[in-house]
Amino acid sequence: GDGKVAQSHYLMTMLRLLFSFGSKFLEDKDAEHCQRISGLLHTMKFKNARPRSSILTAEQVIALRKAAHEAGRPSIALAQAIQFECTLRQKDVIGEWVPMGERGPFSDVTREDKKWMRGIKWSEITRTGDGCLILKHITSKRQKEIEVDLTRAPMVMEELERFVTLPTSGPVITDERTGLPYITVTFREHWRRFARSCGIPDTVRNMDTRAGAITESLIANGGDLDSTRIVATHSNVTTTMGYSRGNVKRVAADMDKRARYRNKQGTEG
């Protein structure tokens, strides 16, 4: 209903997985029923949503950061800057609250029956002897390590300069009201309010940040798909490429090009 095709497609995919699981791990009649239904679902096609075409531009990122600061939410300004400059997904920046029993790395950030995982922590940001500020983080989607020099990310550095000293532990992005990482829906509600206040259309979402960053990278690189692919941790097939340590220089060069391109366009925040 209400044109929520993407969600419907996702649910049918889950249904297929459940019956496939049942056909392999259940016994007797239950397994037979699952095999029959799994076979039927395999032959059926379900409408999916069209690929998104919206992007979040550098100009919009700058405007949204300003709106967030005016509303007393510098955390959202920092999160948005990191997402755009580092080409990261929302979950990789703000993390998410999951059930205590969910598998994954140990988390000492908890609330009620949930624990916080997958977001950026201050301990993942270190300063090198030559003054670089290196972020190392394992991405949530494919568990690949990224390595980014934040000193080459002007928007991020503008936000970090607001700190007298950078913390050394805990989540980087926390809700000013609670002192804990954002509940995803709360972050998105605030983000949408700030987006509307600075004229960003409702058709553009925070999830379009990554597309905007990749688009800017391609333009700044003169269409060099290989460099942008490495920065975005994409392969040219269907999987996500992992960063090797040798790629950090290419990532840094790409970020420099993006910053120069943005300055040339007169959109530096």
Q: Are residues 43 and 49 in contact, defined by beta-carbon separation less than 8 angstroms?
A: no
Query: Whole-angstrom Cα distance, residue 250 to residue 177?
Result: 39
User: Between vectors from CA 94 to CA 1 and to CA 14, what angle results, nearest 5°?
Assistant: 35
Residue-wise pLDDT for 192-240, tens only, equals 999 999 999 999 999 999 888 888 887 787 756 666 666 666 554 332 2
Tokens of 237: 């097939």
The label of the residue with tokens 């940040």 reads 209
The label of the residue with tokens 């989607």 reads 141
Give me the pLDDT at residue 76, please. 98
| 171: DSSP letter | B
pLDDT band at residue 71 under the 50/70/90 scheme: very high
